Amino acid sequence: MFLKRRFKRLLFSATVLTVSGNLFAAPCCGSGFTIPSIITSDDKAQLATSYTYSRIHADVFTNGDWRRREKKDVTEVYKIEGAHIFQDLYQVGLSVPYQRRTRDGAQSDSSAGLGDISLQLGYEYLPDWDYNPLRPKGIGYLSLILPTGKSIYESDDGSGIDARGRGFWGIGGGSVLTKSWGSWDANFNLEAHYSLPKSVSNDTTTGRVTPSYGGSTALGVGHNWESVRLGGLINWFYEAPTDVTGTTPSEGTLKRYASGSLLMSYLFKSNESIVLSYSDQTLFGSPLNTSLSKSVTLFFQKRWQR
Partner 1 sequence: MQGTKALSFFLILFLLGSCAKPRYVDGLEGKLDGITGDCGLLFSTEDLCLKTEWVQKPTESTFGEMTLSFVDRNDDSRFVDPIKDPFIVLWMPSMGHGSSPVKIERVDVGRYRATDIFFIMPGPWDIRYQLRDGFDVLEEKIQKITI
Interface positions with partner 1 (CB under 8 A): 27-29, 58-59, 61-62, 64-71, 105-107, 152-153, 157-160, 184, 202-206, 209, 211, 221, 234, 241-244, 247-248, 250-253, 258, 282-287, 289, 291
In whole angstroms, the minimum distance from the beta carbon of 79 to partner 1 comes to 24
Cα-Cα end-to-end distance for the chain: 19
Between 258 and 275, CB nearer to partner 1 = 258
CB neighbours of 207 closer than 8 A, spacing ≥ 6? Answer: 199, 200, 201, 244, 245, 246, 247, 248, 249
Dihedral (C-alpha) 181, 273, 293, 143: value to the nearest 10 degrees? Answer: 80
Closest to partner 1 by CB, 227 or 250 = 250
DSSP track, 210-239: E-EEEEEEEEEEEEEETTEEEEEEEEEEEE
Q: Which is nearer to partner 1, 130 or 251 (CB)?
A: 251
To partner 1, the closest distance from the beta carbon of 116 in angstroms equals 16
d(CA 30, CA 217): 20
d(Cα 225, Cα 3) in Å, to the nearest integer? 14
Q: Least distance to partner 1 from the beta carbon of 207, Å?
A: 10
Q: Which is nearer to partner 1, 206 or 270 (CB)?
A: 206
Kindly state the smallest distance separating residue 1's Cβ from partner 1, in Å: 20
Q: Are 191 and 215 in contact (CB under 8 A)?
A: yes
Find the shortest distance in angstroms from Cβ 166 to partner 1.
11
